[in-house]
């Protein structure tokens, strides 16, 4: 008996010691979980769309103005204990005051009527500014920001977006996108930082810092919890279409797709959203290996794992790996999902998960693990003490200060791709015809996720900003700049067609002009509505370009698009080509300042711009992509056909590279390589140049890439100045992932290159 009592005493002592080692946060969470019923826990794992609890005809659409329906909200938030809400009503942006009123009501219902007073966490897609808030600052999209090759612009965008999202009473942002945008056919390439892993890693980390603060303290009322998405390999589909299957070898997944998430996790990212597609036949939402063995264990991610829209349902409805909705819930939760973006049929998800626990199909340990992470996130956001932030405390919302940062990002990103006979910048006050469907259009400057999901409402909200036409009028005079569209967009269901309206008028006006600024590209789209079967520009846009070229007037082609569309047929007819991508509300001003010479362009392509439909490979292709044979029965010449290469972009300055040096020729595995190069500005114009360092592994056990970007620096080089740029590259950053899925640097020879200069080194 004494031994038993003594053993119990020791056990209690150990437990008390463990408890005393808990932080205040951990004690709070553990105490809360110990009091919660199964139903309360499952409620925390449930996320619903705002329309479900808003006034309106049904759960899919709402009446305006936006108001919370007491009965619907009480059912969801009190009866079913739902712990998270997302999105807006009717796909429309709201004023900060409206957000404050409605989210305050949500928190009031949830916290005043539930015994444990757990706040709701509200999430939103705010990917280049606070998407669903009227008056928010809209920055360039991620692909445009990447074209600046200046990660500071990503930090600024995220910091302003965090501020203005909190001004909208929302603490959780479903951003950044860390997917590798390597396929120009994919409808969401514009949401990425491009095709290069290093660009994605560096810009992604800066986004995390901007959202969550440099000290990673998301209790700060100017910071939000970031959500990395979409883990992992989402864009690497076979078809190039959204949410379709990908087949990715494990070593490729590790080297090219996972590293950006690892860097963001190391930077403190709080949450992650999962890839809606399949990898190697397995839906990622059902993949225990990726979610637990890789994301949780290998990458040590401790935050919340969130589904994408209805993706647990899709395990049954679309992917056919679950025989019922209930089995789909079982598979996803056991695979590691913490919170389900239901978003409508929350009762079914809730009831299914409760039953699965009661039946022993999902363990209480798995439930407690998920709920602990969710409650920890709410605690770190200070929602228990301050569940709602008040827009009145955010005096810089939509401010000139924020606008200047958005303009800076746009002006640094716009990329000059062709400038025959130095036609740009335009001199004096010439007569200019602006033509094309994108020339007088705020919608196309912003792209999707701008005031609405598909961006179709942008012109309603962004009227105070300048289109390309209006921006040019401001710089060159209203009487000197005219606009005739020639062709325009015509909506047709979920896709976008074009209509010819006044090509002859455009040609007639062109004959009376000195220059034609031809604005071609895409209408707004994202996700499935953005899938396409033809990467060529629409035939009516090509017709307009050719008709205008017949006038003999010099044409400056402006590309306003979210992915590179094929222009090989018309590019030779253009005197200049400028890619503005999706530059946001200040894109018209930034472009006008570049065409007039007020700003010297410095953008570089974050992707390869293909010349042909079957030339869609990233710059780090394998040597076998290029095979030449001039003997035997067949003669052929293989080549990679890009219209413009990754990293390419012109300037009004002329830069010359010289004197590439490496500190020695032979290196050990633990060494660092010091590389220096001189960059001279031969022109009379100050300019920014991005110096790009590449490496090539000459021979390896896995066929090496032709080259890989290893470092880059964007620097200002004044007229006539020569600068020495120094890189310090650790040898271990020359690593690749071998067939055993391990990062290795194999002994051998490597080529290091900057511009057209190169040095060969050896590693032993």
Query: Which of 7-16, 322-331, 583-592 has the least mean pLDDT?
Result: 7-16
Mean pLDDT for the stretch of residues 101-123: 97
What range does the domain containing 731 cover? 653-763
Q: Which two tokens stand for residue 603?
A: 């953008």
- Give me the catalytic one of 125, 179, 196, 308: 308
Q: What is the structure's pLDDT at 545? A: 98
Cβ pair 508, 548 in contact under 8 A: no
**Residues pairing with 662 in the sheet:** 675
> Within this chain, do residues 347 and 419 fall inside the same structural domain, yes or no?
no
If asked whether residues 302 and 337 sit together in one domain, one would say: yes
> Do 593 and 679 sit in the same domain of this protein?
no
Does any domain span residue 633?
A: no
543 falls within a domain: yes
Same domain, 82 and 206: yes
Percent of the chain beyond pLDDT 90?
Answer: 94
Question: Is the pLDDT score of 299 beyond 90?
Answer: yes
The 10s digit of each residue's pLDDT in 76-97 is 999 999 999 999 999 999 999 9
Angle at 30 between CA 28 and CA 35, to 5 degrees: 100
Judged against a pLDDT cut of 70, whether residue 635 lies above it is answered with no
183 classed as catalytic: no
Q: What are 753's two structure tokens?
A: 């290159």
Share of the chain above pLDDT 70, in %: 95
From 610, 633, 666, the end of a domain falls on 610
Alpha-carbon gap, residue 395 to 161, rounded angstroms: 14
Say if 642 falls within a structural domain.
Answer: no
Stretch 240-253: mean pLDDT: 97
Closest listed residue to residue 434, CA positions, set 468, 475, 483: 483
Assess whether 469 and 355 both reside in one domain. no
294 & 418 share domain: no
Average pLDDT over residues 575-590: 98
Give domain status of residue 190, yes or no: yes
Q: Is the pLDDT of residue 17 over 50?
A: no
Q: What is the CATH number of the domain that holds 455?
A: 3.40.50.1700
CATH number for position 57: 3.20.20.300
CATH number at residue 714: 2.60.40.10
> Which DSSP symbol is given to 358?
H
pLDDT at position 628: 73
Render pLDDT for 670-720 as a digit per residue (tens, 0 to 9): 999 999 999 999 999 999 999 999 999 999 999 999 999 999 999 999 999
* pLDDT top residue among 2 and 72: 72
Q: Which helix (H) or strand (E) holds 482?
A: strand 481-484
CA distance 599 to 579: 15
Query: What is the average pLDDT score of the chain?
Result: 95
- Beta-ladder partners of 690: 714
Q: What is the pLDDT of residue 8?
A: 47
Mean pLDDT for 454-478 is 97
Alpha-carbon distance of 379 to 367, in angstroms, equals 18
633: pLDDT strictly greater than 70: no
Residue 746's pLDDT is 98
Residue 245 lies in a domain: yes
Task: Decide: 471 and 592 in contact? Cβ < 8 Å.
Answer: yes
Residue at a domain's end among 335, 361, 393: 393
pTM of the model: 0.95
Q: What is the reported pLDDT for 21?
A: 81
Q: pLDDT value at position 640?
A: 84
Nearest-Å Rg of the Cα atoms of the chain is 28
Mean pLDDT of 210-233: 98
Instruction: Write out pLDDT tens, residues 140-149.
Output: 999 999 999 9
Is the domain of 170 the same as that of 288? yes
Residues 521-559 pLDDT 10s: 999 999 999 999 999 999 999 999 999 999 999 999 999
**Quick one: 236 and 139 in the same domain?**
yes
C-alpha neighbours within 13 Å on the C-beta side of residue 180: 25
Q: Residue 455: which of 446, 466, 467 has the closest Cα?
A: 446
What is the pLDDT at residue 743? 97
Half-sphere exposure of 494 (CA within 13 A, CB side): 9
Q: Is pLDDT at 758 greater than 60 in this prediction?
A: yes
Shared domain check, 439 and 342: no
Q: Is residue 644 part of a domain?
A: no
**Number of domains, the chain:** 3
Q: Look at residue 492 and tell me whether its pLDDT is greater than 70.
A: no
* Predicted pLDDT at 497: 86
**Alpha helix locations (H) across 568-715?**
587-596
What average pLDDT score do residues 239-264 get?
98
- Mean pLDDT in residue range 324-351: 98
Which pLDDT value is given to residue 14?
47
pLDDT reported for residue 501 = 87
Residue 3 has pLDDT above 80, yes or no: no
Residue 743 sits in the same domain as residue 678: yes
Q: What is the pLDDT of residue 19?
A: 55
Note whether 284 and 371 are same-domain residues. yes
Q: Is it the case that residue 286 has pLDDT exceeding 70?
A: yes
Tell me: pLDDT of 631 over 90. no
Same-domain pairing of 665 and 542? no
In a domain, 235, yes or no: yes
Domain membership of residue 637 (yes or no) is no
The DSSP call for residue 394 is -
Stretch 17-37: mean pLDDT, rounded?
87
């Amino acid at each position: 008996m004494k031994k038993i009592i003594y053993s119990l005493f020791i056990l209690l002592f150990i437990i008390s010691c463990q408890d005393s080692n808990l932080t205040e946060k951990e004690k709070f969470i553990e105490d809360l979980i110990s009091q919660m019923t199964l139903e309360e826990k499952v409620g925390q794992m449930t996320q619903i769309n705002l329309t479900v609890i808003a006034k309106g005809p049904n759960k899919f659409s709402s009446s305006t103005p936006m108001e919370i329906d007491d009965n619907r909200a009480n059912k969801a938030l009190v009866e079913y204990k739902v712990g998270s809400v997302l999105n807006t009503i009717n796909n429309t942006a709201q004023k900060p005051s409206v957000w404050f009123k409605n989210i305050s009501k949500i928190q009031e219902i949830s916290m005043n009527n539930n015994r444990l007073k757990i706040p709701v966490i509200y999430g939103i897609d705010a990917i280049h500014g606070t998407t669903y808030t009227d008056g928010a600052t809209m920055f360039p999209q991620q692909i445009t920001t990447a074209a600046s090759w200046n990660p500071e612009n990503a930090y600024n965008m995220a910091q302003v977006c965090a501020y203005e999202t909190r001004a909208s009473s929302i603490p959780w942002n479903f951003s950044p996108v860390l997917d590798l945008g390597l396929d120009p056919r994919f409808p969401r390439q514009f949401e990425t930082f491009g095709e290069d892993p290093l660009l994605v890693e560096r810009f992604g980390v800066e986004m995390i810092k901007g959202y969550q603060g440099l000290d990673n303290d998301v209790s700060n009322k100017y910071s939000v919890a970031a959500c990395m998405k979409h883990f992992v390999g989402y864009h690497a589909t076979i078809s190039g279409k959204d949410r379709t299957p990908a087949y990715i070898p494990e070593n490729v997944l590790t080297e090219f797709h996972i590293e950006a998430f690892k860097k963001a996790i190391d930077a403190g990212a709080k949450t992650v959203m999962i890839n809606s597609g399949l990898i190697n036949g397995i839906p990622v939402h059902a993949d225990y290996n990726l979610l637990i063995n890789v994301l949780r264990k290998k990458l040590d991610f401790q935050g919340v794992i969130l589904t994408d829209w209805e993706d647990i349902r899709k395990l049954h409805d679309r992917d056919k790996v679950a025989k019922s909705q209930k089995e789909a819930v079982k598979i996803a939760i056991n695979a590691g999902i913490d919170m389900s973006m239901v978003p409508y049929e929350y009762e079914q998800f809730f009831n299914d998960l409760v039953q699965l626990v009661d039946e022993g199909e999902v363990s209480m340990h798995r439930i407690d693990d998920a709920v602990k992470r969710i409650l920890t996130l709410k605690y770190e956001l200070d929602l228990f003490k301050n569940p709602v932030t008040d827009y009145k405390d955010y005096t810089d919302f939509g401010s000139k200060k924020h606008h200047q940062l958005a303009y800076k990002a746009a002006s640094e990103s716009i990329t000059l791709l062709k400038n025959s006979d130095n036609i740009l910048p335009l001199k004096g006050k010439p007569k200019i015809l602006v033509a094309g469907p994108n020339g007088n259009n705020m919608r196309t400057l912003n792209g999707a996720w701008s005031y609405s999901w598909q961006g179709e409402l942008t012109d309603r909200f962004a009227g105070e900003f300048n289109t390309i036409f209006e921006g040019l009028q401001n710089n060159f005079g209203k009487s000197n700049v005219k606009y005739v569209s020639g062709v325009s967009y015509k909506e047709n269901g979920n896709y976008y067609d074009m209509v010819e309206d006044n090509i002859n008028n455009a040609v007639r006006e062109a004959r009376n002009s000195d220059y034609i600024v031809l604005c071609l590209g895409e209408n707004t789209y994202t996700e499935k509505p953005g899938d396409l079967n033809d990467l060529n520009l629409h035939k009516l846009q090509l017709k307009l370009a050719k008709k205008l070229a017949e006038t003999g007037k010099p044409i400056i082609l402006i590309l306003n698009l979210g992915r590179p569309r094929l222009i090989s047929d018309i590019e030779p007819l253009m005197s200049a080509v400028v890619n503005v991508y999706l530059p946001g509300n200040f894109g018209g001003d930034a472009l006008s300042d570049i065409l007039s010479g007020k700003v010297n362009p410095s953008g570089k392509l974050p992707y390869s711009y293909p010349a042909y439909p079957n030339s869609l490979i990233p710059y780090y292709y394998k040597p076998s992509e290029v095979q030449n044979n001039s003997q035997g029965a067949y003669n052929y010449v293989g080549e990679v056909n890009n219209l413009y290469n990754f990293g390419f972009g012109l300037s009004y300055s002329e830069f010359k590279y010289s004197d590439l040096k490496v500190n020695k020729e032979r290196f050990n595995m633990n060494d660092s390589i010091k590389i220096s190069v001189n960059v001279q500005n031969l022109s009379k114009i100050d300019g920014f140049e991005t110096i790009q360092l590449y490496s090539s592994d000459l021979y390896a056990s896995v066929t090496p890439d032709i080259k890989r970007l290893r470092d880059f620096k964007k620097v200002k080089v004044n007229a006539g100045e020569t600068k020495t740029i120094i890189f310090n590259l650790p040898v271990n950053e020359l690593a690749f992932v071998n067939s055993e899925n391990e990062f290795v640097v194999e002994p051998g020879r490597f080529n290091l290159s900057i511009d057209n200069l190169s040095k060969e080194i050896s590693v032993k």
